[in-house]
Amino acid sequence: MMVMIVDSKKSLEEVCAAMEPAVQKHKFGVLGVHNLKETMARKGVDFGRECVIYEVCNPHQAKRVLEAKMEVSTALPCRISVYTEGGGVKIATIRPTEMLAMFDVPGLSAVAQEVEQTIAAIMNDVAG
């Protein structure tokens, strides 16, 4: 499956509050945060769902990938989405192994696997 999804019993606010510390704990950084509901409201669009997207990156891993193939820059940084669905909160990401497979770069599967394991750990940490 291309998308990895973790369910949380926490509120969206609790998951979001836990995100930055969890990302830092795993030696990644948060490069940007996008609150889709707020952004759409500023554009005059009423969007009833909650969705916050975190752009996360480990610069050492990104460097390894970019040195192998700059086109991968179109898929960076990794994103972790926190959203409401069916009365609950979901945390989701596109699997780095699947993303990098699209670029067909020999030797990057180990890096992609490491990044995927780290992002899964972050997601599980914030899900509680």
Domains of the chain: 3-127 (3.30.310.70)
Amino acid at 93: T
> pTM of this prediction?
0.94
Q: CB within 8 A of 48, min separation 6: which ones? A: 37
CB 60 within 8 A of CB 28: no
Q: pLDDT digits over 68-126, tens only?
A: 999 999 999 999 999 999 999 999 999 999 999 999 888 889 999 999 999 999 999 99
